[in-house]
Amino acid sequence: MDKFTAAIEKARKSNFQLWILNKFIGKFIPFNGPHRFRIVNITDDGFEIEMPYMRKNLNHLKGLHACGLATLSELSAGLTLIRKLGFKEYRLIMQEMNMEYFYQAKMPVRVKYELTEEFLQTTVKKPLETNDSVFVELKTEVYDLEKNHICTATTKWQMKKWDSVKTQL
């Protein structure tokens, strides 16, 4: 088990470890740091992440900024993929993102994203046995704390096994 997966498993059982994981993610992904995203729950199949309603996250209309909502959506899907597939065996890159906005967020929002092992087997692992890469489209829905549907992100991810990558780190 890698350190990242071990940290997630510890955070599932301890609020203190969850606090440490949230600090780590803010530092590990510096672009997301100012947003102060916070993992509020870790399930067997994914994460629930909150974006706070604070000045740095607001647009000119005092609603949560569209780009922050897109980043939250990308983070939840990407983090779930990395956790479920592992970043040592698979390389993933977001190829495309489409956002649909429905309601202006005037309070904190949350996204809950989960992927089952069955879905990953049929759409990623099995196809990678015969192909160099696969593309997977994921939908992420964001809701405010009053359950208003704020937006839906559709992200398209390219996944490869590291031994198929031409330019490795």
Q: Is residue 23 part of a domain?
A: yes
Q: How many other C-beta atoms lie within 10 A of the C-beta of residue 2?
A: 10
Q: Is residue 111 part of a domain?
A: yes
CATH number at residue 144: 3.10.129.10
Confidence of residue 29 (pLDDT cuts 50, 70, 90): confident
Residue span of the structural domain in which 116 resides: 3-164
- Quote the pLDDT of residue 168: 56
- Retrieve residue 67's tokens: 């780009």
Examine the pLDDT at 169 and tell me if it is beyond 70. no
Q: Is residue 169 part of a domain?
A: no
- Say which DSSP state 29 is in: S
Query: Per residue in 87-143, pLDDT tens?
Result: 888 889 999 999 999 999 999 999 999 999 999 999 999 998 899 899 999 999 999
Three-class DSSP category at 68: helix
Q: Is residue 101 part of a domain?
A: yes
Q: Is residue 51 part of a domain?
A: yes
pTM for the predicted model, two decimal places: 0.89
Q: Is residue 147 part of a domain?
A: yes
Which of 21, 57, 58, 66 is CA-nearest to residue 39? 21
Q: Spell out where the chain has E strands.
A: 38-42, 46-51, 90-101, 109-114, 133-144, 149-161
Three-class DSSP category at 86: coil
- Quote the pLDDT of residue 112: 94
Number of domains in the chain: 1
Q: Is residue 113 part of a domain?
A: yes
